[in-house]
């Protein structure tokens, strides 16, 4: 048996993946959160700046593996939770973290459905939501990474997807 170091490539361009991610985000914001969104320029593929706020991560597995990450400020998380749960939230509590987890689940789920036309069937893991200060994050094993920054009525949010050959 011989092995080679060449990984199978994912037949997907970064631009196409970013368009899918924006479309999935827009769908959830318009249909579930009652807000239009628009895309902001200058997304960085790897977050380098320190960040205060909420980060939600959900894994993807199948013919490709990876994850989807949703990040926003505490204020934006409260606004999104207020929209989603139709109740007033002014501080990040467990309900807000759960709401952000649910929103992440819907957005990454919509993205997964679009991606499956290219990759074949994928599964999502369960969301892990973290809230903290001075957060840096790293995803070292990705072959393909896109970040989409969006503005909505209550602030900004960032969606990232990283994929690697399984």
User: Which residues contact a second copy by CB under 8 A?
Assistant: 51, 55, 57-62, 65-67, 69, 94, 97-98, 101-102, 105, 123-142, 162, 164, 166
At residue 99, what are phi and psi to the nearest 5 degrees? -65, -45
Burial 128-146 (b: 16+ CB within 10 A, else e): ebebeeebeeebeebebbb
DSSP summary character for residue 36: -
DSSP string, 50-119: -EEEEEEEEEEESSEEEEEEEEE-HHHHHHHHHHHHTS---S--HHHHHHHHHHHHHHHHHHHHHHHHHH
**For tokens 């969606």, what's the residue?**
159
């Amino acid at each position: 048996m011989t092995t080679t170091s060449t990984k199978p490539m994912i037949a997907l361009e970064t631009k196409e993946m970013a368009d899918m991610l924006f479309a999935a985000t827009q769908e959830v914001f318009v249909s579930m959160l009652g807000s239009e969104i628009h895309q902001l320029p200058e997304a960085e593929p790897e977050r380098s700046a320190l960040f205060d706020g909420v980060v939600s991560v959900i894994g993807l597995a199948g013919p490709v593996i990876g994850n989807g990450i949703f990040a926003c400020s505490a204020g934006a998380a409260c606004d999104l939770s207020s929209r989603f749960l139709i109740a007033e939230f002014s501080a990040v509590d467990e309900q807000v973290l759960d709401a952000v987890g649910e929103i992440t689940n819907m957005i990454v789920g919509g993205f997964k459905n679009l991606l499956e036309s290219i990759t074949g069937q994928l599964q999502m893991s369960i969301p892990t939501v973290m809230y903290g200060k001075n957060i840096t994050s790293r995803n070292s094993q990705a072959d393909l990474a896109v970040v989409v920054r969006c503005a909505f009525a209550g602030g900004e949010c960032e969606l990232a997807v990283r994929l690697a050959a399984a």
